[in-house]
Amino acid sequence: MTDFFQDQPLRIAGRSFTSRLLVGTGKYQDFDETAEAVAASGAEIVTFAVRRTNLGQEAGEPNLLDVVPPDRFTLLPNTAGCYTAKDAVRTCKLARELLDGHRLVKLEVLGDQSTLYPNVVETLTAAEELIADGFDVMVYTSDDPIVARELERLGCCAIMPLGSLIGSGHGIQNPHNIRLIIEQAGVPVLVDAGIGTASDAALAMELGCDGVLMNSAIAHARQPVLMASAMKKAVEAGREAFLAGRMPRRQTADPSSPFAGRING
Partner 1 sequence: MQIQLNGEVRDLASDLTVAQLLEELGLAGRRIAVERNEEIVPRSEHAATRLADGDRLEIVHAIGGG
List interacting residues with partner 1 (CB under 8 A).
23-28, 34, 47-53, 55, 57, 59, 63-65, 75, 77-78, 80, 90, 93-98, 100, 166, 213-216, 219
Are 217 and 171 in contact by the 8 Å Cβ rule? The answer is no
| Shortest separation between residue 47's beta carbon and partner 1, angstroms | 6
| Shortest separation between residue 49's beta carbon and partner 1, angstroms | 3
CA distance 251 to 102: 53
Name the active-site residue from 86, 106, 232, 233: 106
What are the CA-CA distances from residue 230 to residues 17, 186, 190, 245, 248 (Å)?
19, 29, 18, 22, 27
Are 178 and 52 in contact by the 8 Å Cβ rule? The answer is no
Residue among 96 and 239 whose Cβ is closer to partner 1: 96
Return the amino acid letter for 250.
Answer: R
In this structure, the dihedral spanned by the alpha carbons of residues 62, 68, 72 and 76, taken in order and rounded to 10 degrees, is: -130
Are 149 and 161 in contact by the 8 Å Cβ rule? The answer is no
| Shortest separation between residue 40's beta carbon and partner 1, angstroms | 16
In this structure, the dihedral spanned by the alpha carbons of residues 34, 88, 208 and 115, taken in order and rounded to 10 degrees, is: 80
Residue among 180 and 195 whose Cβ is closer to partner 1: 195
| Shortest separation between residue 179's beta carbon and partner 1, angstroms | 25
Residue among 13 and 64 whose Cβ is closer to partner 1: 64
Is 93 catalytic? The answer is no
58: number of Cβ within 10 Å: 7
Residue among 95 and 201 whose Cβ is closer to partner 1: 95
DSSP string for residues in 13-34: TTEEES--EEEE--S-SSHHHH
Residue among 169 and 208 whose Cβ is closer to partner 1: 169
| Shortest separation between residue 187's beta carbon and partner 1, angstroms | 21
Known catalytic residues are: 106
